[in-house]
Structure 1
């Protein structure tokens, strides 16, 4: 398992969380509300989302470490499409608790 986290500063975190979850709900059993969401890409891989007034926190977990970079790019690309009106800084950091 590999895990990484990105904290994206935005005033529209809840909106983006909901858009991402609704988008992926057509393919996956997504759970979400205004403040939190989870997209299970597979039994072993998922995207956790948390929104507050200033940030969207994304936690990506994948089964195979070699898939982490590709999945980070997929998530970032989708978020950038929804947030086309603003420039987001999406930087992923390895979760030290789960190398």
Structure 2
């Protein structure tokens, strides 16, 4: 099951780079200003910066608690986006 959220923000590139840097101390990450991938234990997190949105995609492992996975991602991004928080996640 793959879930994707389009998160409205004009700071998508900044937030994806901050999240990648934050988790790079614990997990394997790949990141540039337009995209990022984090090898998270519950499954990979992929992000893409658009002009007015951050597109976040998670691929939970079969044993992952999907609700917790979504919450962890949202809470961490909200920390970096404290001026805009809470960000709107429309998981589909």
Specify the alignment match of 1:55 in structure 2.
Answer: 53
Which residue, 56, 78, 82 being the options, matches 1:80?
78
Deviations 1:42-95 (A, max 9, x none): 3x71100000111100000111265111100000000011100013212211xx
The runs of at least 4 consecutive aligned structure 1 residues that moved more than 3 Å come to none
> Which structure has the bigger radius of gyration?
1
2:20 matched residue in structure 1: 21
TM-score (norm 1): 0.85
Q: For structure 2, which runs of at least 5 residues remain unmatched after alignment?
A: none
Q: Which runs of 5+ in 1 are unaligned?
A: 94-99
Per the alignment, residue 6 of structure 2 pairs with: 7
- Root-mean-square deviation over aligned CA pairs: 1.4
Compute the TM-score of the two structures, normalised by the length of structure 2: 0.92
SS in 2 for 1:63: coil
Output one character per residue of 1:14-36: Cα deviation in whole Å (capped at 9) or x when no partner.
00000000000000110000000
* Matched residues, number: 91
Structure with the bigger RCO (C-alpha within 8 Å, sep 6+) is: 1
Q: Does 1:91 align with 2:68?
A: no
